[in-house]
Structure 1
Amino acid sequence: MLELEKVRENLSKNDQLKKMKNSIRNKRKIRKQVLDGIAHIHASFNNTIVTITDRKGNTLAWATSGGSGFRGSRKSTPFAAQIATERCSESVKEYGVKNLEVMVKGPGPGRESAIRTLHAVGFQITNIIDVTPIPHNGCRPPKKRRV
């Protein structure tokens, strides 16, 4: 009889643990509502990376030209940056983001097309900031190409 009672106690404890785990999982699935966000666009000569964060800097979604299916020289085109921005903005819409501040870094060809795409998708762009790092005579730049 004692063994039967112990088994029943263990089963009830296991059920309670399962319920607690399920409630924790459900809490994770709930998306927080974010109205304002920051779109970080890193446009290099070879790729374009778009990351959308909340005001605190926590990443909501990100996408790249290379991750969107483009390889080689097509990765560095404005169209590839447009597709990456569309993919990123679709996943951010779930959070309820309406207003975006845009921070652009780098001289790449995907700069303008990414900003235009954010506006076309339906975000209200509040501010555009260029945060490209400018050296104060730091590293020697790469040599000019002779084609």
Structure 2
Amino acid sequence: MALTKPKKIPRYRRNKQRKVDKGIIHIRASFNNTIITVTNVLGCVISWSSAGACGFKGPKKGSTFAAQKATENVIRMVVINRATVLITGSGKGRDAALRVIQQNHIPIHAVLDITPTPHNGCRPPVKRRI
């Protein structure tokens, strides 16, 4: 019995521009890093970038400038006709990333803040005594 080669999975090149009619831009801005992901309406990832992937290290990853550069990297690879922006987290990069999206003339349909906030759920840890 002859062995057959498995089918090759199509892989996208990182520098190729992709066109999307409707897209969702996810911004996760923590205090240490900012991660931007572009998905289609079904949730399949089209492009992504982060401050760490752009070459920033240490505390510079959490800066507004790093968030701007990461957002520019993502937007350069995608052409979106209409976008919904979902922002998570309370880091410095949330406003900077949104500003870059607006400056690149991407029509924004909605901006939603989906940061998880507790409604007095779990009991907080005991305060540290020094």
**TM-score of the pair, normalised by structure 2:** 0.79
Q: Give 1:33 deviation, angstroms.
A: 4.4
Q: Give 1:99 deviation, angstroms.
A: 1.2
In structure 2, what is the equivalent of residue 107 of structure 1?
Answer: 90
Q: Give 1:133 deviation, angstroms.
A: 0.3
Q: Give 1:136 deviation, angstroms.
A: 2.2
The answer to whether residue 27 in structure 2 is matched with residue 41 in structure 1 is: yes
Deviations 1:92-129 (A, max 9, x none): 13xxx121100000000000010010111221111000
Deviations 1:2-38 (A, max 9, x none): xxxxxxxxxxxxxxx9xxx7xx78x876x87421100
Specify which structure has the higher proportion of strand.
2
In structure 1, what is the equivalent of residue 75 of structure 2?
Answer: 89
The whole-number CA distance in structure 1 between the counterparts of 2:58 and 2:126 is 20
The answer to whether residue 99 in structure 2 is matched with residue 116 in structure 1 is: yes
Percent identical = 42
RCO higher in 1 or 2 (8 Å CA, sep ≥ 6)? 2
In structure 1, what is the equivalent of residue 44 of structure 2?
Answer: 58
Change (3 A) 1:72 1:28: closer
In structure 2, what is the equivalent of residue 137 of structure 1?
Answer: 120
Specify which structure has the higher proportion of helix.
1
Structure 1 gap segments, 5+ residues each = 1-16
In structure 2, what is the equivalent of residue 126 of structure 1?
Answer: 109
The higher radius of gyration belongs to 1
- SS of the residue corresponding to residue 126 of structure 1 reads strand
The whole-number CA distance in structure 2 between the counterparts of 1:38 and 1:79 is 22
- Code of the residue aligned with 1:62 in structure 2: it is W
Change (3 A) 1:85 1:141: farther
The whole-number CA distance in structure 2 between the counterparts of 1:61 and 1:124 is 18
